[in-house]
Amino acid sequence: MKDRQTQQQRRALLKAFGLGAGSLALASGGARAALTPSPIPTAQPDTRFRVTAHVQSYYQTLKD
């Protein structure tokens, strides 16, 4: 009976450590997220395909 009680106490202790560490990580991460401002998006970059000189030379090699 004593062995079973020891196991239950050990489980409770490990559970408490796990919950404490998790809440500590959550609290510290939440504080950092609240303090850092999000960047304001500027004009969107042009993401369309552009045919440049090196792209044209590559296409020429495919045609030969």
Domain range summary for the chain, segments of one domain joined by +: 1-36
| Residue linked to tokens 């489980």 | 11
pLDDT, position 35: 64
Residue 10 gets which letter from DSSP?
A: H
Q: Assess whether pLDDT exceeds 70 at residue 24.
A: yes
Output the average pLDDT for the chain: 78
User: Which one has a higher pLDDT value, 9 or 34?
Assistant: 9
